[in-house]
A = this chain, B = another copy of it.
Amino acid sequence: MLEQLKKEVYEANMLLPRYNLVTFTWGNVSGIDRESGLFVIKPSGVDYDKLRPEDMVVVDLDGNRVEGEMNPSSDTATHVELYKAFSNIGGIVHTHSPWATSWAQAGRGIPCYGTTHADYMYGEIPCVRNLTREEIEEAYEKNTGVLIAEYFKDKDYVAMPAVLCKNHGPFTWGKNAHEAVHNAVVLENVAMMACRCEMVNPQVQPAPQELQDKHYLRKHGPNAYYGQK
């Protein structure tokens, strides 16, 4: 069942330790098959060096396990909400990557200070508020997804494939699991350089809008000219 997707999601998960985005089991990647409405996600709490493609868990968009012997990631309900709200995405990543998590803990969005950021993410990377006590008690993981979806309701989630959850950590997404991991790496780099940039110049301002536009559109949209075709 979804063997190719399981392989892709497994490989995307294995990129997290390779890019130093996870310690222990602090992260998970999923990828969806839009036709069947099923997605594949890492099992909960399994070490990356013991993870195998066949351990991946298949889940439906109600959050029910459809195949697999292990429990899916404890963040599965968040993934469900994001897949339901963002119809054009095919993969989701959650990590506690250290620099992005430091910004999340600080409760600040990451201003766009340069072209590394603008090449992939359009504008400030948002930090969404804490859930209320009621939201936590009712359904913590689900409401995390609901809150993110609510924030992006009138925004372009393709042009901003990342969010920070206050006092928690980042989620990123993309057209598939691999691109979602790519965006998680970009986010970690951007978070690191934004912090150091503020150390070097505490009064720094975001990059000029025309520079952000140029770089984002150089890589995205009909007139993109970066890369090979």
Chain A residues engaging chain B, CB cutoff 8 angstroms: 23-26, 43-46, 70-71, 74, 96, 98-99, 101-108, 113-116, 130-131, 133, 136-137, 140, 167-169, 182, 185, 189, 192-201, 204, 207-208, 210-211, 214, 218, 225-229
Could you say which residues of chain B place their CB within 8 Å of the CB of A210? 133, 136-137
Residues of B within 8 A of A108 (CB): 200-201
- CB atoms of B195 and A199 under 8 A apart: yes
Q: Which residues of the partner chain B approach A130 to less than 8 Å between Cβ atoms?
A: 207-208, 211
Complex Cα distance, B115 from A194, in Å, reads: 22
Of all chain B residues, the one with the shortest Cβ separation from A117 is B105
Q: Please tell me if the beta carbons of B211 and A102 are within 8 angstroms of each other in the complex.
A: no
Q: Which partner residue on chain B sits nearest A131 by CB separation?
A: B211
Given the known interface contacts A136-B210, A167-B208, the answer about A107 and B228 at a Cβ–Cβ threshold of 8 Å is no
Extra 18 A-B pairs, beta carbons < 8 Å, given A71-B229, A99-B196:
A24-B182, A44-B228, A45-B227, A70-B228, A74-B218, A74-B225, A96-B189, A102-B197, A103-B197, A105-B113, A106-B200, A108-B201, A114-B169, A115-B169, A136-B211, A136-B214, A168-B211, A195-B199
